[in-house]
Amino acid sequence: MPSVRLDGLRKQFGNVVAIDGVSIEFRDGEMASVLGPSGCGKTTTLNVIAGFTDPDEGLIHFGEHLVADAARGFAVPPNRRNLGMVFQSYALWPHLSVAENVAYGLKMRNVSRVARDEAVKRSLRRVKLEHCGDRFPHELSGGQQQRIALARAIAYSPQILLFDEPLSNLDAQLRDEMRLELKELHREIGVTAIYVTHDQAEAMSLSARIVVMWAGKILQSGSPRELYEEPADVRVAQFLGRTNVFEARLVDKQSTLAQVSIDGVDEPLRCRVSATTLPNTSGTLSVRPEAVSVRPAGTGGVSGRVSSTMYLGNLSQLQIRLDFGKTIEVLELNRRTWTIGDAVSVTFDPEQCFFISRGREIQQATP
Amino acid sequence: MSSSDSVSAPLSARPTGPPPRWVGLLQRIDPAAIIIAAATATLCFLVFYPLLWLFYGSFAYGELPLPEVFAQFWNLPGLDRAFQNTLWLVCGTLPLSFLFALPLVWITARTDTPLKGMIEIAAIMPFITPPLIGAVAWALLAAPRTGLLNVVAREVGSTAPVLNIYSMSGLIFVMSLYLSPYVFVTVQAVMQRMDASLEEASLISGASMAHTVRNIVVPLSMPALLSAGILVVTRSLEEFAIPGILGAPTGIYTITTYIYYQAISYVPPRYEVAALLASGLMALTAIFLGIQSRILGRDRRFTTVSGKGHPPRVIRLGRWRYATLAYALAYIGLTVALPSLVLVYAAFISEWGALPFPSNLSFGKLVSTFDPALSVRSGLINSLILAVSGASLATLLTLIIGYAINKGSPPVRNTLDFISAIPLTMPGPVIAVAVLWAYLREPIALYGTLWILLIAYITHYLPYGVRAMSSSFRQLSPDLEHAAAVCGAGRIAQVRQILLPLIRPGILAGWMLMFISMIRELSSSIFLFVPGTETTAVTMLELWQEARFSEVAILSLTLIFISVCVVMLVRWMSGAAYLSSHR
């Protein structure tokens, strides 16, 4: 299976820069997500990889093969790139039966009739819809249609699979089921898969690696755990789950453990930090809501008052207004009941606090 | 790890160099691009070549110096009258067509009048019966001496004719009847889609129904009203058949009929005058259409009137619903029932103008009309040849242009959109005069052949075809062809296997529209035919002038019959297409 490598990709529509210097390699056989808010350039990136849009600058390689080189005006048309793609809208052809839809790519490859029927049957079986071949797309439910779209994309065994928010039109429960199935399918066929989504839960549960895009640039890429626990950028921290951020200064650092000071809190707080962060830098301290422990006032830590409570069943969500003026969000297992106005002391679990230095973003953008 | 190792390998490790330039060049030239280029060239030629000749003919024709052309122009006998008549006709038709149509809009969109569905269909029936046939039917009904209504009145004891259709008021009346469907369709679309909550919000705020209509409903339907008004103005400016049948016999010329009777068929033909008048007519139409597209394009405010929300409330009329029904039936009587009946009556009568009719009935005319000695048969064959080949060629051309408009970059799209809209500003007589100038002489001399008619037809109906085709393409998500591309289909395969089957109903509808328009075409054919290339509509006008009313009626019915057959055939075919995709 080939890798997909983008070098210095740029694409502009009128005055809008959709992709602003993206370089990244999706490794062979890997399932990677491109995650970002709408309008961040993730779909354009996918369209450039597929060949629907030609880049203004940059190179694209599939493994050893050059696929697009903007400087020379060279671009392999999409139908010669040997890709499979699953669309958000499913894009099943309504005038063709399910089997004809799935067989289309094989027909384009001049596969003999017998082999074609065999391959159609195999991929329909893979998505558990082997009995639906004679039906038409409109006779199937949304979830079934999406499976057919998947079967169509894998029928001719492409080496690279592209997914453009394929689950966003399904309801929540179906989405969870399909996630598991997609993951399993990927393990079976082992293609290089690129999955574009704006849903962080989807990206985290599906992929081994997540690439976070923002305003046409890559902010960070890494495993879901790395992104969650060691965000390289405040925006990454805020986009993947909720977090409380404080302006902070790094005062002491030993390898990946550090002490930071924040305004309004007298003693330094302990947290984790990236090994490459320079000492004495200023930046942001990210404190996940579940990293905060709340105790009755006077037990040490930062003091404040409960300003709102929300009972969520397994958890409670609290807003606590700290005495120096900042309001933080807390997720707590329901060990104790708080009411609005209670005076409390909060402490932060150093393992779940991460200092993001301001210098690091620059370091990131120019690899 | 995180960032550093995930970002790409160094650029120097590029294993395969790009292929040489010419490979890329060859890959870029795909057959689809060649086809699109050819279609675009054809479009430009069809539109611009006659247009250039028309302007040349208006201002630079060598035989007379320009000041002399102008001097001659101003001294033309009757031209001032023609201008006046046109003005009266437009000014009379505009209010009257609204007066006919607006109550119908209200009845079908907002009331519980019985038979609403039938009324809605009947209201657009005049689209199927062309103005030529309408004018003929009304002349048969209300000509001062021989009109059936006047004959009946005389039998009853009236001494003077009650109605005279050969007058300005007759012209306005028939014109309004046949243009009111345009008003109906345009305004009704808005009224029906208007979100009821907009009105309810006004009522809840304490406004009375009258206030709500004045402050909410009328302003929101303003673009539709204006655009319908402009449609009526341009249509009545360019109409040829109605003033040709009802006005010309008594010397009431409008600009279009003046161009024909006083310039083109004048001996010797005054081609410069025709060109100048045609240019003027075109400029006038262009101005009106420009205003219309500004009105429609300008205000996003009015998009509150779209799709979503719930349909408007139906007003319960109680007993009054029979009054509204009576109005609707009277309208249908005037536009559809009476004209059809009189045509059928005229077709089966041996001597026109005589009563009582039972003894007068005969089938003889049905046979004699199609006698080879009359040019009826060849006219019918010519019309069929022209309509089938014209609609088919125009469909092919507009299909490619419509595709290019949807797939092209914004400048390409806008340019093609603009060029293909130019013929909208050219009414039939204008197209005819331009085409006459362009193809009368070398290098492309086609005068006297069917080709010149074919070219005029295709040019005339291009805009309608382009709109039908490009909106068909627009309804398809680009994902559908992207999916095909990813599966390995090239551009031609994408179009043939995915796009064309999906828009087949749209293609058929576009073809049908153009076929029906072409089979009855009069306003440019009359300028371009020579003996031997006359079309059915031209034959009808000639027979009319010879007072062969039964033959004209039979031909009218034949045209309606053909149109209805084609409509049914196409509906059946689209139905079959629908079934095959939604089995």
Q: Are B366 and B347 in contact (CB under 8 A)?
A: yes
Tell me: pLDDT of B15 over 60. Answer: no
Sheet strand arrangement including A16-26: A16-26, A4-13, A57-62, A65-69, A74-75
Residue of A9, A34, A104, A357 for testing the chain B interface, max B β-carbons within 10 Å: A104
3-state DSSP assignment of residue B64: coil
Checking if the pLDDT of B299 tops 60, the result is no
pLDDT > 50? residue B304: no
- Model confidence over B191-208: pLDDT tens digits? 777 767 777 777 777 777
Quick one: pLDDT at residue B115?
Answer: 84
Q: Which phi and psi (to 5°) does residue A51 adopt?
A: 100, 5
- Residue in chain A closest to B2 (alpha carbons) equals A222
Helices (H), B408-449: 410-421, 428-439
Q: Residue B296, class by beta-carbon neighbours within 10 Å (0-12 exposed, 13-18 middle, 19+ buried)?
A: middle
| Backbone phi and psi for residue B170, each to the nearest 5 degrees, phi listed first | -65, -45
Q: Is the pLDDT of residue B214 over 50?
A: yes
CB B515 within 8 A of CB A132: no
pLDDT band at B24 (very low <50, low <70, confident <90, very high): low
Q: B572 vs chain A: nearest CA distance in angstroms?
A: 17
pLDDT of residue B358: 62
Stretch 492-531 of chain B: residues touching chain A, C-beta under 8 Å: 493, 497-498, 501-502
Q: How far apart are CA A224 and CA A201, in angstroms?
A: 10
pLDDT at B209 over 80: no
pLDDT value for B583: 38
Percent of chain A with pLDDT over 90: 49
The alpha-carbon gap from B180 to the nearest alpha carbon of chain A, in Å, equals: 39
Residue B28 confidence (pLDDT): 59
> Which of B238, B244, B225, B226 has the alpha carbon at shortest distance from B286?
B238
Q: What is the mean pLDDT of residues B31-59?
A: 89
Distance (Å) from the alpha carbon of A7 to chain B's nearest alpha carbon: 7
**Cβ neighbours for B50, distance < 8 A, ≥ 6 positions apart:** B431, B434, B435, B437, B438, B439, B459
Query: How would residue B352 be classed by pLDDT, with cut points 50, 70 and 90?
Result: low
The reply to whether residue B11 touches residue A59, judged by beta carbons under 8 angstroms, is yes
- pLDDT tops 70 at residue B27: no
Structure tokens belonging to residue B296: 């429609």
- The stretch B285-302 carries a mean pLDDT of 74
Q: What is the pLDDT of residues A29-67, one digit of tens each?
A: 999 999 999 889 999 999 999 999 999 999 999 999 999
**How confident is the model at residue B192, as a pLDDT?**
74
Tell me if B557 sits within 8 A of B140, measured CB to CB: no
pLDDT confidence tier of residue B1, bands split at 50, 70 and 90: very low
Position with higher pLDDT, B574 vs A4: A4
Listed by number, the residues of chain A in 96-155 with a beta carbon closer than 8 Å to a beta carbon of chain B are 104-105, 108-109, 136, 138, 149, 152-153
Q: What integer best gives the mean pLDDT of chain B?
A: 82
Q: Chain B contact for A52, CB < 8 A?
A: yes
Chain A positions touching B30 (Cβ under 8 A) are 77
Other Cβ atoms less than 10 A from the Cβ of A208: the count is 16
Taking residues B269-282, report their average pLDDT: 84
Q: B232: which 2 tokens?
A: 């009526």
Which amino acid, residue A310?
Answer: M
pLDDT score recorded for residue B5: 36
pLDDT at B442: 76
Q: Is A263 helix (H, G, I), strand (E, B) or coil?
A: coil
Query: Does residue B3 register a pLDDT over 50?
Result: no
What is the DSSP secondary structure assignment for residue A3, as one 8-state letter?
-
**What is the band of B319 on the pLDDT scale with cuts at 50, 70, 90?**
confident
Residue bearing the bigger pLDDT, B41 or A265: B41
Written as six digits, the tokens of B353 are 């103008």
For A305-326, what is the mean pLDDT?
89
**Residue of B430, B421, B404 whose CA lies nearest to B464:** B421
Domains of chain B, earliest start first:
30-72+364-583 (1.10.3720.10), 81-362 (1.10.3720.10)
How does the average pLDDT of chain A come out, rounded?
89
Residues of A in contact with B2 (CB under 8 A): 220-222, 226-227, 230, 232, 274
ipTM of the shown complex: 0.81
The mean per-residue pLDDT over the stretch A245-274 comes to: 86
Buried b (16+ CB within 10 A) or exposed e, B412-444: eeeebbebbbbbbbbbbbbbbbbbbbbbbeeee
Nearest CA to B397 out of B379, B423, B436 is that of B423
Q: Which of residues 17-36 of B touch A (CB under 8 A)?
A: 17-19, 21, 24, 27-28, 30
pLDDT value for B145: 79
The reply to whether residue A65 touches residue B16, judged by beta carbons under 8 angstroms, is: yes
Q: Decide if pLDDT at B41 tops 90.
A: yes
Contact B255, B243 (CB under 8 A): no
How confident is the model at residue A210, as a pLDDT? 94
Strands A16-26 and A4-13: antiparallel
Q: Is B484 on the interface with A (CB under 8 A)?
A: yes
- Give chain A's domains with CATH numbers: 4-229 (3.40.50.300), 242-365 (2.40.50.140)
Backbone angles phi, psi at B251, to 5 degrees: 80, 15
Q: Which residue has the higher pLDDT, B421 or B196?
A: B421
**Per-residue pLDDT at B362 exceeds 80:** no
Question: Torsion-angle region of residue B298: left (phi > 0), alpha (psi -120 to 50) or beta?
Answer: alpha
Of B561, B555, B554, nearest to B516 (Cα)? B561
- What Rg do the C-alpha atoms of chain B give, in angstroms? 27
Q: Which of A108, A132, A168, A233 to mutate to test the interface with B (most CBs of B within 10 A)?
A: A108
Q: Shortest CA distance to B497 belongs to which of B511, B506, B487?
A: B487
Q: Is B94 a residue whose pLDDT tops 60?
A: yes
Q: Most B CBs within 10 Å: which of A27, A65, A74, as the mutation test of the B interface? A: A74
Q: For the CA atoms of chain A, what is the radius of gyration?
A: 24
Using a CB-CB cut-off of 8 Å, the residues of chain B touching A157 are none
Q: Give percent of chain B above pLDDT 90.
A: 24
Give the tens place of pLDDT for each residue, A207-235: 999 999 999 999 999 999 999 988 988 88
CB contact under 8 A, A156 and B2: no
Which tokens in the block code for residue B42?
Answer: 């054809």
Return the percentage of chain A with pLDDT > 70, whole number: 98
Mean pLDDT along residues B91-112: 89
